[in-house]
Structure 1
Amino acid sequence: MAIFSHFKKSKFEQASNPQAYEEILKEFKHFMDDAEDMFHSATSATGEDLLKIKSQFRQRVRSAKERVGNASNSIIKQAYKTADLTNDYVHQKPWTAIGTGVALSLLAGYLLSTKRDTQ
């Protein structure tokens, strides 16, 4: 991305954190595996065992919510960092940002107009 070449690479690496996305996906997979196991256990359980399984499931849901919440907070922080970097760039080079916006608008307009012509 030539537009952002004046930023230090480490700033952008700090602003994006693919580990947080992977953590959310990993937690979701583990949660679904646990939920499936508990569901199979619950189908044959009665009385005390069923109450125990329900309690375990509630605890697992709470744990999953907390872990996903922590990872999503990390993603939100990185989104703010990225927005700050973009804001800095626009303030440092406003005409480049305006030119990029105009060029993208013209391209979008052209593509939309040719799509209508072919219909």
Structure 2
Amino acid sequence: MPDQILNAEKEQLLADVRSVLNHTEELLAGAGEEGGAKAQELRNKLGANLKLAKERLLEAEKLTVAKARAAAKVTDQYVHEHPWKAIGIAAAIAFLIGLLVSRR
């Protein structure tokens, strides 16, 4: 369930950033065709859109870092509560990787 929420948040954020960047590209194309006051207005809008895109990307970075820290904390807690089980899982994964590597 949390993965579904994370994926939905990520997809929405990516859609927002794509929308801002597409709108910025349209403004940039229009700024090349216009002169004078209209061009200045388009440049101002372009600057605002780029600022918004940067803010959204920073939000995405903060969200990703927070989720990674939470996952690391949960993993650390699990390993401390179940050390032998964690060692067994790690050994099994290492064994499987060894089998896969030796077949090549």
Residue 95 of structure 1 corresponds to 84
Instruction: Return the alpha-carbon distance in structure 2 between the equivalents of residues 58 and 114 of structure 1.
Output: 55
Q: Which runs of 4+ in 1 moved over 2 A?
A: 16-20
**Structure 1: tracts of 5 or more residues without a match:** 1-11
- Does 2:3 align with 1:18? no
Residue 114 of structure 1 corresponds to 103
Instruction: Return the alpha-carbon distance in structure 1 between the equivalents of residues 80 and 24 of structure 2.
Output: 49
- Tell me the matched-pair count: 103
Identity %: 25
TM-score, normalised with respect to structure 2 = 0.85
- Does 2:19 align with 1:30? yes
Instruction: Return the alpha-carbon distance in structure 2 between the equivalents of residues 22 and 83 of structure 1.
Output: 23
Residue 6 of structure 1 corresponds to none
Question: Partner amino acid for 1:105?
Answer: A
**Does the CA contact (< 8 Å) of 2:24 and 2:46 recur in 1?**
yes
Provide closer, same or farther for how the CA distance between residues 72 and 19 of structure 1 changes in structure 2, counting only shifts above 3 A. farther
Shift of 1:54: 1.3
Instruction: Return the alpha-carbon distance in structure 2 between the equivalents of residues 52 and 45 of structure 1.
Output: 10
**Does the CA contact (< 8 Å) of 1:20 and 1:75 recur in 2?**
no
TM-score, normalised with respect to structure 1 = 0.75
Q: 1:58 aligns with which of 47, 54, 57?
A: 47
**Structure 2: tracts of 5 or more residues without a match:** none
Structure having greater relative contact order (Cα 8 Å, sep ≥ 6): 1
Alpha-carbon RMSD across the aligned residues, in angstroms, is: 1.9
Residue 29 of structure 2 corresponds to 40
